[in-house]
Structure 1
Amino acid sequence: MTVTVGHDSAKTRQTLTAGGKTVAYYSIPAAQAAGLGDFARLPAALKVVLENMLRFEDGKTVSVDDIRAFGDWAKQGGKNPREIAYRPARVLMQDFTGVPAVVDLAAMRDGILGLKGSAAKINPLVPVDLVIDHSVMIDEFGTPRAFQANVDREYERNMERYVFLKWGQKAFNNFRVVPPGTGICHQVNLEYLAQTVWTDTDQTGAEVAYPDTLVGTDSHTTMVNGLAVLGWGVGGIEAEAAMLGQPVSMLIPEVVGFKLTGAMREGTTATDLVLKVVQMLRKHGVVNKFVEFYGEGLDHLPLADRATIANMAPEYGATCGFFPVDDETLRYLRQTGRDEGRIALVEAYAKANGMWRGPDYDPVYTSTLHLDMSEIVPAISGPKRPQDYLPLTDAKASFAKEMEASFKRPMGVEVAVKGEDYKLSSGKVVIASITSCTNTSNPYVLIGAGLVARKARALGLTRKPWVKTSLAPGSQVVSEYLNAAGLQEDLDAVGFNLVGYGCTTCIGNSGPLQPEISAAIAEGDLVATAVLSGNRNFEGRISPDVRANYLASPPLVVAYALAGDMNIDLTTEPLGTGSNGQPVYLKDIWPTNKEIADLVHATVTREAFLKKYADVFKGDTKWQGVEITEAETYDWPASSTYIQNPPYFRGMAATPGTISNIKNARVLALLGDMITTDHISPAGSFKATTPAGKYLTDRQVPVSEFNSYGARRGNHEVMMRGTFANIRIKNEMLDGVEGGYTKGPDGAQTSIYDASMAYQANGTPLVIFGGIEYGAGSSRDWAAKGTALLGVKAVIAESFERIHRSNLVGMGVIPFEFTGGDTRKSLGLKGDETVSIEGLEGDLKPLSTVPCHITYADGTTKTIQIKCRIDTEIEIEYVEHGGVLHYVLRNLAAA
């Protein structure tokens, strides 16, 4: 494709020869020589953004003063929050977030026709890759046929969605789909799509080299930061705007430097390291900040381990977790089958533009942390948050404390499982899953898990019968090297058969437990547990039957499957009894670092990557058999319960409106701290008694065909009914009630959806109150879309997580933060108040403080000041238009 570059008033464009080719590039040293600032000691992550400014400097969206601001950043100790317009090179999507994004694009084609524009104007202007990885569910496990059975079921459930995506691939330019069964989007990105340095022709026909950058519709897009590719997660709304040529509006971020020294000790894994990093950075506070890793410890850190750390940037709260280009970057590019000319260009470009990490790499950072990796110990985290770090030695005692303090349930209650010869009690591990993008990019922990299985098998151990085990690798390459090492057979023997290539358990697609086990958990009100090698363990996410969820390395996932219980100290107590009648301890089956490294070096080969990615877009026979009708606009099937034309652009006027004050709004929900997008956005399974379930049953969809909320994100009718319907959410308007309930206009308890519909029928605006870190977690645009469709005009919280705040603005919902120490608790809010917000009309400025009048049920009033978290001038325009997509659509129609 052609990339449009700016007019380069400082003459920073240079040429570079590498790998037998000469390319143009925009030189940071040349910008410094031109007097635009001292950029020499900027962190590499920030130099990537600076290069973007140089390349797109046009005097309008990017000015010379924007470039100078980066020099001021360094002079001011790593701070200069100037608003800039950043243009990523490409967009990455997964199918749960990608389907609604493509639905929006299809709806925009219809919408632009209503504005007398051309449907052909609605096309991605940058490359977009969508990887179908979120749809496979674990219906079958522990058998040789599990993989094929789950794939077959996946196609049965999702054919409507797959027809739609295949239509999109044909209908839109610059849009490719990686079919089901290939791998997780972040691992496919790391192993194949990412180039570290990108090249394209510009409007003059010259080839231009520039850093590979992206935004993704999944928060763990950051995993590719381990390959020195700057990328982070955004909501589908923001990604769609980027696809359509709209720059990402952002403030020049602070950059926290995280220095790694030493080397990992025997018996520890990258997962143990990343869980400690998550804890440290959460404590430090890195929301809205870049994190860059540096220090001599990187010399001992394989790229797979770097990717594991980068992956969990959302868990530590940062925008990204970046690793600069160095020799290890080049080694990984070579191992994974990248072209030698590209590898030569990456090295030459990084060195020419000051982005290479050599022994003298010493940037200026806003603040720094330090971790000696030799101090890392085996660890897990849980039972509810990724940052709840636990050394493995403390795991047993911690669970007992959680039973008393958090779950408020007694230990020791036992329930017989019907038809089985065992009983369940709180703490039993009912799910043990090697899953998700975090660790399945990492051959060291997967080979390690295979060796644990091999040694356990040799001693006569297998999974406990109540444990649902699964192996869902991030790419087909994983199966290639596990088979080459002979380890898949060992994993099969202890229950970890291949179940699919996808996110599975980590996103709630763990599938149902054995009905008798589920019934026993319910009968005893037990706290069943899950152990997974993922990155998310929020309440209600993994399984409706499981209350306590722990993140762990793949080898420890295998160990917990063998033990079957959180009430065992794996460091001192036996996992089970071997075939010789002797107890087997973790130390008996744990491989040495050398054993793991030797097998990795022998089996993880360049040839494996070249083989598995040779035809990555072709798909299996099932995908090839998906038939579509080619057309410029989508023929929305009226009877579809998966794909519906959303209402956002219906009857849209050619010109925008204005931002209005909010008058006499009622409270839809009063929520606490750390309300995540899992709590807000519909996710996982749902029952027939829910508003979404009733909608489907009214349309003759049997419960067995409900699939998941994630799979139905292309149908706004299902999704708005599932917004705020998480089974563990607690609305403080109701005492002790869990789930998506509130009080309606009549004061009676009802579902949030039904209350919303009643209020909207009366023309009553709605607000939501929250605590700290509102909207933490995944970049789920439906958390904002659903909020908007429920008639919510404002969310007032103590603080917001980055992505969700942006998504709310993108849907025209205004986020506000309390000021002056006010909170929902200090104000004595009960949810029966009336709320009016002034100061929004006229010349509203970003981050303004405005008055909020609260009228209590007894008629008393109080006025507080709240901070409007519309952070930038362009975001004000978005809200005036009713959302970012309306803004883009009107501009395209007028062009």
Structure 2
Amino acid sequence: MSTLGDLSKDTLEVAGLRYQFYSLPRAQQKLGDIAKLPKSLKVLLENLLRWQDGESVTEEDIFALAQWQDKAHAEREIAYRPARVLMQDFTGVPAVVDLAAMREAVKRLGGDVDKVNPLSPVDLVIDHSVTVDKFGNDNAFEENVLLEMARNHERYVFLRWGQKSFNRFRVVPPGTGICHQVNLEYLGKSIWHEMLAGQEVAYPDTLVGTDSHTTMINALGVLGWGVGGIEAEAAMLGQPVSMLIPDVVGFKLSGKLRAGITATDLVLTVTQMLRKHGVVGKFVEFYGDGLDDLPLADRATIANMSPEYGATCGFFPVDQVTLDYMRLTGRSDQQVALVEAYARKQGMWRNTGDEPIFTSSLSLDMNDVEASLAGPKRPQDRVSLDKAPEAFNASNELEVNHARKEHSAVSYQDVLTKQQEQLDDGAVVIAAITSCTNTSNPSVLMAAGLLAKKAVELGLKRKPWVKASLAPGSKVVSDYLARARLTPYLDKLGFNLVGYGCTTCIGNSGPLPDAIEGAIKEGDLTVAAVLSGNRNFEGRIHPLVKTNWLASPPLVVAYALAGNMRLNLQHEPIGVDKTGKPVYLKDIWPTPEEIGAAVQQVSTSMFNKEYAEVFEGTPEWQKIRVSEAQTYDWDEGSTYIRLSPFFDDMGRTPEPVQDIQGARVLAMLGDSVTTDHISPAGSIKADSPAGRYLQEHGVEPHDFNSYGSRRGNHEVMMRGTFANIRIRNEMVPGVEGGITRHIPSGEQLAIYDAAMRYRKEGIPLAIIAGKEYGSGSSRDWAAKGPRLQGVRVVIAESFERIHRSNLIGMGILPLEFPQGESRKTLKLTGEEVIDIADLASIKPGCMVKVVLSRKDGSKLEIEARCRIDTGNELTYYQNDGILHYVIRNMLN
């Protein structure tokens, strides 16, 4: 019998080429009117039609999605199969380690190791390994690249092996760009096509990525979002992404941005609005006639920050702006023609006046957006520029163990000028044009260059305590800044090129000068970083920098000139010119006409040149020689790449799920605990468990590199779990850092050391937490690390989407407190003993009885909600993890 998918097949002719496709207009004859379906859901609907097999995708699934506006989708699980997978190296290295370890497990269990191969195309972009060690001079880029190659040689050897050993796996070498910008400018197609069973089949370009900012590609009409490395590995090995049919929140844009207002100001406003509205686990789709004049680079800035507003994705439908951008970035005429023809035929094209039906909607007149920053520690905490000093002064919540002191200052000797300088509270010690969010956007980068030009011409200088850096998302940025003759002015202010990659935003800001670090410590100063990125969580940017502020690139330059967050840039002079006359921000802010003229310098030839040899790499990269064996030759002495232990004890069939008996609380945590808190990516302290391990293995502290770069070594990562210097465990009040109490001894020690003591005692572990547990980056080690420490269950008020699925992917049970209850209302201390029975019979979304035995012998019973949401997730949990399930499928 023919399926709906079969009945919907049609052909499309574009510029003389014929494509088969799965027609939504044809399917509509059976499904009913789907014209007003959000366009992001039309992409999902096509995916279900194309993959309908009667098992993973049924006719009922397709009807549930088509009738979404009738709310028939509630709690409906679907199997989504993205066209491809995108990775960056911090998350990609552990994923390739897992694939290599899976080959070892399949080999041990008598299977065919060649089955452990990607079935979907995978692109890994090495972009997270460069650190801002050298800065403020013309040689900074070359020196940082050499340091990167030396530090990461073991990792790069391993990735070169993966590139040769695995099918459909490509690696973009270091020094090329940020994965999201490479995806936007080169890899993304909007409409994908490939030869299948003798037919050229066209379908929407879709993907999942191992970085939460994968959503940036939504700007190109590509449906994609971040997943944990664990889920991504399963997807590349042929497993569908299991998901509930999402709610879709519409965000209507009208009007235009005023002169002097940037895309960064817009995205910080959108982020604040959507966080307040509540979009966790939902799609956001942008619509409205304001999109007619919203450049694709601005759309990319908004889509990039979907994780910051909490949505699964922030989708922009295909329209004329999409086509213009594809032409600019060098996509072929045939590809652009296919995108337009397919989108129009399928009803995925955005027309003026479109008003799809949404779950809920909100709107913004872009004329109302004002100059903004976000800080001091969350991306959604938007502050208008004139309120920045007030917001800094209110950030005393970041101080631990003492009330906010009076502003203090410390004198130090500047290393270059040999002059005595004064470092004050509020000093901006890092000013970084960094990250994928804004460095894909020519208008804000040209604005930064033009502001620098005006400042230099007036005689303004960067304050000597500011560590400035420029880390673009692609080499094209350097080309157009040079073409516009703005590079010398940025260089003059210290914004020299330091690398093409994710630097300050991921915690690779590098060390501050010794004199600055010494002054901060001496005065216990609260200093600041201003960066054009998307993440400003505590302890992420630099261990000594307590407040971090997200801002547009021109504002980053402005704060480097001002030098202190307590200066009101809207009303106070930013400096004085050569004659001693005060200079205000408005005096050096470029006009829209100036920015527009500079943006006109961006040309297609730049993109063609820089992406012509995108997979080739430097001579140093090309010289790396590796084995071509199917299994990796593990080096027992390596401190970067180790065979992970996750599959050591697995058999061909899963054991029944064991109940949790006599569990102890490893840590009790508050609201908005991020994956950075759970598994930091930044620097490794010498006196931490991870630092001690590295030193025991002959690594000196100056060669520690970062936690992110060590993710291929489980020994480092399990020691780094809950080791963030800013994490606060409520079991040890008044203490910052990864410390807990061992119960019942009461001894205070590192969380890792306590976990290992509990393991020796045979005691399972639990984490208790507040709202939004696991927000932030899609970091698989935030689930892998707790698993290796012995954590069996996390009980929280709510979970962020990616982290919840990662916990299940590692066999950890996510439970939510009953509505209205929390660790506070229940007066938990962390000394309770936890018992959870009947785990072998749980169902998705069921209530689970949790018994908490208090120190005084009394017992408390609660009914917690099981946050295993789908049948597929339950199968993964019953198999002790998603990769265990995949291996057993291969074997059986």
Give the shorter-chain TM-score range: over 0.9
Q: Is the Cα–Cα contact under 8 Å of residues 5 and 49 in structure 2 kept in the other structure?
A: no
Q: Does 1:578 align with 2:577?
A: yes
Q: 1:405 to 1:494 in 2, by over 3 A?
A: closer
String of CA shifts for 1:443-463, please: whole Å, max 9, x gaps.
000000000000000000121
Alignment correspondent of 2:216: 223
- Tell me, in whole angstroms, the C-alpha distance in 2 between the residues paired with 1:699 and 1:466: 36
Partner of 2:867: 869
Distance (Å, rounded) in 2 between the aligned partners of 1:380 and 1:670: 31
- Equivalent runs, 1:198-209 vs 2, <5 Å: 198-202=192-196, 204-209=197-202
Tell me what 1:849 maps to. Answer: 847
How far off is 1:425 after superposition?
Answer: 1.6
Indicate if the aligned counterparts of 2:431 and 2:469 stay in contact, CA closer than 8 A: yes
Structure 1 residue aligned with 2:343: 350
Alpha-carbon distance, 1:399 to partner: 1.2
d(CA) in 1 for partners of 2:461 and 2:168?
A: 48
1:150-165 to structure 2, matched below 5 A, reads 150-165=144-159
Quick one: which amino acid aligns to residue 385 of structure 1?
Answer: R
Q: Does the CA contact (< 8 Å) of 2:212 and 2:227 recur in 1? A: yes
* 1:23 alignment partner in structure 2: 19
Measure, in 1, the Cα distance between the counterparts of 2:184 and 2:840: 46
**1:587 aligned residue:** 586
In structure 1, the partner of 2:317 is 324
Deviation of residue 37 (structure 1)?
A: 3.2
Could you tell which deviates more after superposition, 18-27 or 127-136?
18-27
Contact 1:377 1:391 in 2 (8 A): yes
Query: Is the aligned partner of 1:259 residue 2:255?
Result: no
Q: Pairwise mapping of residues 525-544 of structure 1 onto structure 2 (< 5 A)?
A: 525-544=524-543
Q: 2:10 aligns with which of 8, 11, 14?
A: 14
Kindly provide the CA deviation profile for residues 733-783 of structure 1, in whole angstroms up to 9, marking residues without a partner as x. 002011111112422001111111111111111000000000000000000
SS at match of 1:67: helix
For the pair 1:96 / 2:90, whether they are aligned, the reply is: yes
Query: Aligned equivalents of 1:827 and 1:512: distance in 2?
Result: 43
Q: Which residue of 2 aligns with 1:336?
A: 329
Alignment equivalent of 2:187, drawn from 193, 198, 218: 193
Matches within 5 A, 1:662-677: 662-677=660-675
Tell me by how many angstroms 1:10 deviates.
5.1
Distance 2:643 2:854 in 1: 40
- SS, match of residue 734 in structure 1: coil
Residue of structure 2 equivalent to 1:620: 618
1:575 and 1:586 in contact (8 A); partners too: yes
Of the three residues 96, 100, 104, the one matched with 1:106 is 100
Q: Assess if the C-alpha contact under 8 Å between 1:695 and 1:718 holds in 2.
A: yes
Give the equivalent residue in structure 1 for 2:554: 555
1:383 and 2:376 matched: yes
- Residue 661 of structure 1, CA deviation: 1.9
Deviation (angstroms), 1:426: 1.1
Cα drift, residue 537 of structure 1: 0.3
Matched, 1:682 2:680: yes
Partner deviation per Cα, 1:448-489 (whole Å, 9 max, x = no partner): 000000000000012100000000000000001001111111
Residue from 35, 38, 49 that aligns with 2:33 = 38
Alignment partners' CA distance in 1, 2:884 and 2:780: 16
Q: Residue 841 of structure 1 aligns to a residue in which SS?
A: helix
Q: Structure 2: how far apart are the matches of 1:27 and 1:598?
A: 43
Q: Which residue in the other structure is 2:114 paired with?
A: 120
Identity %: 62
In structure 1, the partner of 2:723 is 725
1:247 to 200, 216, 240: 240
CA distance in 1, matches of 2:460, 2:41: 50
Equivalent residue of 2:792, what SS? strand
Q: What residue in structure 1 maps to residue 303 of structure 2?
A: 310
State the Cα distance separating 1:79 from its structure 2 match.
Answer: 5.4
1:78-93 to structure 2, matched below 5 A, reads: 80-93=74-87
Distance 1:626 1:9, change over 3 A: closer
Shift of the 431–19 alpha-carbon distance from structure 1 to 2, 3 Å rule, reads same
Unpaired runs of 5+ in structure 1?
1-5
**What does the per-residue CA deviation read over 1:29-79, in whole Å, with 9 as the maximum and x for residues that have no partner?**
11111x123211111111000000000001011001111002321223x95
Structure 2 residue aligned with 1:657, among 655, 658, 663?
655
**Which letter does structure 1 place at the counterpart of 2:10?**
Q
Cα shift at 1:594:
1.3
Stretch moving more, 125-134 or 735-744: 735-744
Task: Determine if the alignment matches structure 1 residue 642 to structure 2 residue 635.
Answer: no
String of CA shifts for 1:143-200, please: whole Å, max 9, x gaps.
Answer: 0000001000001100000000000000000000000000000000000000000001
| One of 878, 885, 888 as aligned partner of 1:887 | 885
Q: Does 2:733 correspond to 1:735? A: yes
Per the alignment, residue 64 of structure 1 pairs with: 59
Distance 1:350 1:657 in 2: 48
Are 1:39 and 1:74, in contact at CA under 8 Å, matched by a contact in 2? no
Quick one: which amino acid aligns to residue 436 of structure 2?
A: C
* Structure 2 CA distance for aligned equivalents of residues 81 and 264 of structure 1: 39
- Cα deviation 1:273-305 (Å, max 9, x = unaligned): 000000000000000000000000001100000
Mapped partners of 1:888, 1:578: distance in 2: 65
Contact 2:193 2:202 in 1 (8 A): yes
The two structures have a TM-score, normalised by structure 2, of 0.98
Q: Distance in 2 between matches of 1:857 and 1:110?
A: 45
SS in 2 for 1:656: coil
1:235 to 214, 228, 231: 228
Distance 1:378 1:884 in 2: 45
Partner residue of 1:3? none
Following the alignment from structure 1 to structure 2, what is the Cα–Cα distance between the partners of residues 80 and 354? 24
Give the 3-state SS of the residue equivalent to 2:349 in structure 1: coil
Verify the 8 A CA contact 1:217 1:233 in the aligned structure 2: yes
Aligned mates of 1:79, 1:271 — CA distance in 2: 35
| SS at 2:31 equivalent | coil
1:17 aligned counterpart, secondary structure: strand
Contact 2:288 2:353 survives alignment (8 Å): no
What TM-score does the superposition give when structure 1 sets the normalisation length?
A: 0.98
Residue 841 (structure 1) shift:
2.3
Q: Which residue of 2 aligns with 1:400?
A: 393
- Offset at residue 8 of structure 1 (A): 4.8
Structure 2 residue matching 1:417: 3-state secondary structure: strand
* Amino acid across the alignment from 2:616: K
Segment drifting more, 722-731 vs 353-362: 353-362
Structure 1: distance between partners of 2:722 and 2:5: 50
Match of 2:279 in 1: 286
Distance in 2 separating the partners of 1:887 and 1:364? 38
Change in Cα spacing, 1:366 to 1:135, as seen in structure 2 (3 Å) is same
- Paired letter, 1:242: A
Rounded Cα–Cα distance in structure 2 between residues aligned with 1:738 and 1:694: 19
In the aligned structure 1, how far is the partner of 2:581 from the partner of 2:380? Answer: 37
- Residue 428 of structure 1: how far off its partner (Å): 0.3
Q: 1:607 aligns to what?
A: 605
3-state SS in 1 of match to 2:767 = strand
Aligned counterparts of 1:500 and 1:481: Cα–Cα separation in 2 = 16
How big is each residue's C-alpha offset from its partner over 1:767-813, in whole Å with a ceiling of 9 and x where there is no partner?
00000000000000000000111100000000000000000000000
Distance 1:887 1:49 in 2: 25
Structure 2 residue corresponding to 1:51, chosen from 43, 46, 50: 46
| In structure 1, C-alpha distance between the alignment counterparts of 2:724 and 2:819, rounded to whole Å | 31
**Contact 1:124/1:175 (8 A) holds in 2:** yes
